[in-house]
Amino acid sequence: MRLQLLSDLHLETESFEPRPSPDAELLVLGGDIDATWAQLDRFAGWPVPVLMVAGNHEFDGRDLGDAWAGLRERCDSLGIRLLERERWVVTSAAGRRVRFVGTVRWSDFDGLGSAQRDRAMRASAYFLRLMAATRQGVPIDAEVMRNESLACRRWLEDELHEPPQGRWDDTVVITHFAPSLRCADPRYGRQPGTASFCNADEDLLPLADLWLHGHLHCRHDFTVHRPGRRPMRVVCQARGLADKGEADGFDEFKPIDVGATDEVRQGLLPGPCHTVPGDPAHPMESMP
């Protein structure tokens, strides 16, 4: 199955007109599409199914409890399938059954290790102020976000350990937050704020065939070795902010295949940053 992946379009401020990839069977929206939700209507009537996970900016200035119901209603009205701790199995044109599992994942602030958690949580205050979200009327702080993230992690771990029992052939994970420090942005050095973008989900990577994410305004495409199996693949296809040069080299039609027979299908993109397959981890951060 060939996928088109778009994330971090920030259509609330950016001038960008999304276009369908001519050969994709499904569009994945990886979050931070539009903080106002108004521009989600650009994906109504899309020629192929549209899957979406929410990003942190979909909750800007909103109450977390109320926003989920409102966002789901908005997506349903446009024919967009919103996944939050949910599974969806779809059959490709080639007859392969692909399991999509999606969740925001949020940040549990352990991306740099549990010993750095307290520093990472303190560093998150800036980003949480930008988000300005609440939960039952109380501003969301790092502890609330960590609890949300751990709930996502527990669900995702349980789901990925679910045996297929003939129900699917391939597994695609979609999160907004990144699963590894290898996904971090090389424009920024290792700082406590890195953990506001990257989680430490390396133990879950081998359980997926493909992991798609956003959040970092940095594009990369790398594989992770799995003994006795085809390597799994991690892809970020974030557009980012044009005035920062982050959209330079962005290829909205980049093909992403799941269930491909090739061991490695790479598509490095020119731009402000990229991760070279096989490079050591980049323990870095990026502004959302």
Return the DSSP state at 221.
E
**Phi/psi at 245 (5° precision):** 80, 5
Predicted local distance difference test score (pLDDT) of residue 190: 76
The single-letter code of the amino acid at 116 is Q
Please tell me the number of Cα atoms within 13 Å of 243 on its side-chain side. Answer: 4
* Coil, helix or strand at residue 139: strand
* H helix intervals, the chain: 64-78, 117-123, 125-131, 142-160
Predicted local distance difference test score (pLDDT) of residue 189: 66
> What kind of architecture, by CATH, is found in domain 2-257?
4-Layer Sandwich (3.60)
Please tell me the number of Cα atoms within 13 Å of 153 on its side-chain side. Answer: 22
Q: Which residue has the tokens 């369908």?
A: 20
DSSP string covering 150-169: HHHHHHHHHHHTS--TTS-S
Q: How far is CA 254 from the centre of its chain?
A: 16
At 209, which helix (H) or strand (E)? none
Contacts of 158 (CB under 8 A, 6+ apart): none
Question: How many C-beta neighbours within 10 Å does residue 261 have?
Answer: 7
CA dihedral (216, 217, 218, 220) positive or negative: positive
- Residue 208 and residue 173 in contact, taking contact as beta carbons nearer than 8 Å: yes
Q: Which residue has the tokens 């990886």?
A: 30
Domain boundaries of the chain, sorted by first residue: 2-257
Predicted local distance difference test score (pLDDT) of residue 128: 95
**C-alpha–C-alpha distance, residues 74 and 54, integer Å:** 12
Predicted local distance difference test score (pLDDT) of residue 260: 65
Q: How far is CA 241 from the centre of its chain?
A: 17
Low pLDDT (below 70) residues in the chain: 189, 260-288
**Could you give the C-alpha distances from 218 to 194, 205, 215, 284, in angstroms and in order?**
13, 19, 8, 11
